[in-house]
Structure 1
């Protein structure tokens, strides 16, 4: 407790907290662009390893901050915009990109002060966060996240300034292997304190100029500075999901391995630096340029060595950082085997099985949780009215994320597989119709999920409303969907589905005729002042959307379960 009474410690702790908050805002901001143009751009820019490395090099060379690139990457990975392999490639390129900063410092003595942009980023970011359009809000969260990130760095650097002036490298002048290890550790420590490998390099160059350290010691310091840059990424990953932690781990492992290789072969690398320096006309006493050459060599060498080890590295990261909630798993199709494309009938059977799986994943898991109703209650014996009434606790679920991880890929593969099945051989009109039904059922499933996502916010708000009439109306909306889900569940379980089909037809008819705007319910509520005017438009819109969800679910269920019984498989074998 006494430690935290120290103002320096408090400032450093505040910096860490602000930096982590910035990381959370960054991740939230990037979530707004999932499945949009940004994802398409990133996918095209990172679909090959050389593209990922090139992107990392260019972005770091332009922004002059590998730490910034690392934390943005962690946000991308956490938001599902990038795969781990692509992120590792960008990290590789980013490390090479840091050499551009070293050359810039050594030649021009310049460094862009990105931290100076913190306040403008925060100002513009907060203004945009308050806007209603999702994309503008997302841009605002990204800007504010970067602003908080740089402000966190600022506080951390200010806190460590107390120690910076007391660093005298001459105090640690140790010859031999022990000296290399000590100076490497000092390089890590100084970079962690200064939060800038470039600042560490400036300190090294100053020490060299006045003869405080030897050239060999300066090389060890630069290796430590390179390893020290991972500290910011590790801190930033603390607030991220498993995928973000894996990327930070990859960054750490890469820099550690690169640093160890450079240390082991530092004598040979030093000789190589001398040869290259002499070849390009760099004076033997020009330590600034020679350090830049060394920095470039060991970073490029590290990338060359690590490229063949990417797959083992990914396997290690998956074992070390295990996901307990499957947050990083993208669901893949189970039945869409390429062999099934040999005949239209086998392809159709595979598609029906996959579409059924997709439907049950959406209707029996995602949608109930989206309405804050547990599956065990919904599909039990208790009356729907009682189930809905007691389901007052909000279930923490991100429908958009679940859609991206559990639905989107399977849906895309179903559409692609259907197209391939229809194009590979002659297909009868009847089979063409059934392929079309598969596409329609899949689309209905997706549209039902998207529609629920649209009204979930209002549902959650009015679930706890003090106005009993508002609660009642939103409970009725949940009941309508719940009744349909239960009938669909019983339909796929029952050997005799006739009764459930009749019930579904009745529910479908009710859904089509149900309109709170026209049936007098809304008029009565308004006349008797039972609900405020601020809720009227939400209730009208949400009632319409629930009718749409009901219709989509029933139509999808009919196409999947009813059509399956009439499917002709007599021509599976040629």
Structure 2
């Protein structure tokens, strides 16, 4: 056999050049498409048809189903995509990846790109001298595109020639005449190759070259393509290992979708191949069973038809697939800790601006709902359940006379301080490391303001709480009544905010919040006639009056800050985030 160690190294090097070209081209396209593609992914998935089209569109443009799938996993991890939306996008990505096969078949086998590849690299390199990111990305795309086909040409040349190395055919022949067992064997080979190389495009290129060289017949090449469809799911499953249960569900759904497709295809394998052969002849090509040179076109046709039909069949079963993976991967409850830690902020959210913003908003909402709301209500000696109930506020205040053992400082340290620090940390990193638009930068700045306001609210309520406890069961019914008014005003604000953030039609609650904020501003500058009368008639002491005036300003400031937090975290009608919230989060919001 005239094929030695040096030739094997050349083959590996050619594959490396092909993969490098694919990576450079795909990365450049990702940067060029950038914010627009991610925005489309996060917003155009309201139904399964749009989701499938979105997955197809993005994969066709960025030429990498793995990149699309990893983006979907990241968006699922951040809660920007629901499970059913993620499945539909992945289905579309499977169709989009067939464009790469046609690109390789037409430009790599039907047309020789090697003659213009080097001039293309020179042309692309000229773009890198322009001091603009967009021009640099275009230059990298052109260079990557050229390298891809140079690598493909080297792959074709590095593959051993059967005329000079007939031993290879004799080696393969013992595995190509085992009937359906050969099909399963080459399906497994296609899976393993894709897992090892981490690129279905590279495995497809190898398959096309092997068929063009006459190594393997049409049916075994088709089996390898089926294996590539299984192997490409491994990338997403590996990425989801360190992600949350939502991302794991998305990756598992991808695997189940592709496995189901391979299963029905194996049942109809030989009739389907005869259909592809007929279609190839109908479209003007030769039959892949007669002419080996026609196999690359037939394989590309097989790849495309299989993924289109598989998507069409399984799109009606998106919900059952989603329910299956939900049973396989249940919701993972976060264990309680002495000091609360972030639930939505992970290293992965800093990958994209959209996921970073979604993580920051969800963490901020969680902080308000599970810490700030609890601390404020307990500091006022009011039950949270009463605030969110339909009980009249007068009754809420009257029934909450029993003093709570509330240490606001301790609650701040255990429930707020660390999470607040991490929110500011992640927000600052997002602004410094990610390529944000002006609107995204403003959004993160608003998130930081909302969190700072929440910390100020806790400090304000800590001061108020001392006098609430002091006067709650005071013998002086007048001062007790005044502090009950304070509690009622804050309780009303908290209730309206709750309705504003949970009710779908919340415009009326928004208007109520604006009125409450306006009244709070007015009350900061107006003396209360009732308290003046109490002072004049010596119905309250000087100390009580002094406490009241300080706390009156404090209460009005708190109300303003609470409403500002609600506006910043819940007031924005941002479709990017509205579409991204998964159903579990919507129910618990």
Between the aligned partners of 1:100 and 1:506, the Cα distance in structure 2 is 62
Kindly tell me: are residues 235 and 478 of structure 1, through their superposed partners in 2, closer, same or farther at Cα, counting changes over 3 Å? same
Of the three residues 462, 465, 481, the one matched with 2:461 is 481
Match status 1:230 vs 2:210: no
Pair member with larger Rg:
2
The Cα shift of 1:455 comes to: 5.5
Q: Which residue of 1 is the match for residue 247 of structure 2?
A: 244
Count of matched residue pairs: 360
Q: Which residue of 2 is the match for residue 96 of structure 1?
A: 95
Between the aligned partners of 1:304 and 1:367, the Cα distance in structure 2 is 48
The Cα shift of 1:362 comes to: 8.0
The answer to which structure, 1 or 2, has the higher relative contact order (CA under 8 A, 6+ apart) is 2
Aligned partners of 2:194 and 2:231 also within 8 Å: yes
The Cα shift of 1:363 comes to: 6.5
Between the aligned partners of 1:238 and 1:551, the Cα distance in structure 2 is 43
The Cα shift of 1:246 comes to: 1.3
Of the three residues 312, 320, 330, the one matched with 1:312 is 320
Of the three residues 252, 257, 275, the one matched with 1:272 is 275
Q: Secondary structure at the match of 2:81?
A: coil
The Cα shift of 1:399 comes to: 10
Between the aligned partners of 2:332 and 2:42, the Cα distance in structure 1 is 27
Kindly tell me: are residues 300 and 545 of structure 1, through their superposed partners in 2, closer, same or farther at Cα, counting changes over 3 Å? farther
79-88 vs 279-288, greater mean Cα deviation: 79-88
Q: Which residue of 2 is the match for residue 454 of structure 1?
A: 452
The Cα shift of 1:400 comes to: 8.1
Aligned partners of 2:40 and 2:54 also within 8 Å: no
Of the three residues 495, 498, 501, the one matched with 2:484 is 501
The Cα shift of 1:295 comes to: 0.7
Deviations 1:460-512 (A, max 9, x none): xxxxxxxxxxxxxx8xx7442345579999999xxx99464255499989x95
Aligned partners of 1:180 and 1:217 also within 8 Å: yes
Match status 1:387 vs 2:410: yes
Deviations 1:354-407 (A, max 9, x none): xxxxxx998672416899x9999x998446476369759845479989xxxxxx
Kindly tell me: are residues 49 and 489 of structure 1, through their superposed partners in 2, closer, same or farther at Cα, counting changes over 3 Å? farther
Aligned partners of 1:60 and 1:94 also within 8 Å: yes
Of the three residues 167, 182, 190, the one matched with 2:193 is 190
Between the aligned partners of 1:108 and 1:268, the Cα distance in structure 2 is 29
Kindly tell me: are residues 295 and 506 of structure 1, through their superposed partners in 2, closer, same or farther at Cα, counting changes over 3 Å? closer
Q: Which residue of 2 is the match for residue 415 of structure 1?
A: none
Match status 1:219 vs 2:222: yes
Aligned partners of 2:412 and 2:458 also within 8 Å: no
The Cα shift of 1:205 comes to: 2.2
Q: Which residue of 1 is the match for residue 494 of structure 2?
A: none
Q: Secondary structure at the match of 2:102?
A: helix
Provide structure 1 residue ranges, at least 5 long, that are not aligned to the other structure: 1-18, 20-25, 121-127, 129-142, 144-149, 151-160, 329-359, 402-447, 460-473, 514-543, 558-574
The Cα shift of 1:271 comes to: 0.5
Between the aligned partners of 1:305 and 1:214, the Cα distance in structure 2 is 28
Between the aligned partners of 2:54 and 2:103, the Cα distance in structure 1 is 19
5 Å-filtered alignment, 1:523-562, equals 548-553=557-562
Q: Which residue of 2 is the match for residue 173 of structure 1?
A: 175
Q: Which residue of 2 is the match for residue 322 of structure 1?
A: 330
Between the aligned partners of 1:247 and 1:545, the Cα distance in structure 2 is 48
Deviations 1:148-194 (A, max 9, x none): xx9xxxxxxxxxx9xx999x895572421211111111100001111
The Cα shift of 1:211 comes to: 3.0
Q: Which residue of 2 is the match for residue 354 of structure 1?
A: none
Kindly tell me: are residues 313 and 214 of structure 1, through their superposed partners in 2, closer, same or farther at Cα, counting changes over 3 Å? same
Deviations 1:534-570 (A, max 9, x none): xxxxxxxxxx99984454449999xxxxxxxxxxxxx
Kindly tell me: are residues 491 and 279 of structure 1, through their superposed partners in 2, closer, same or farther at Cα, counting changes over 3 Å? farther
Between the aligned partners of 1:100 and 1:491, the Cα distance in structure 2 is 74
Kindly tell me: are residues 391 and 246 of structure 1, through their superposed partners in 2, closer, same or farther at Cα, counting changes over 3 Å? closer
Match status 1:292 vs 2:292: no
Kindly tell me: are residues 280 and 41 of structure 1, through their superposed partners in 2, closer, same or farther at Cα, counting changes over 3 Å? closer
Aligned partners of 1:57 and 1:95 also within 8 Å: yes
Q: Which residue of 2 is the match for residue 60 of structure 1?
A: 59
Kindly tell me: are residues 194 and 385 of structure 1, through their superposed partners in 2, closer, same or farther at Cα, counting changes over 3 Å? closer
The Cα shift of 1:68 comes to: 0.4
Aligned partners of 2:379 and 2:406 also within 8 Å: no
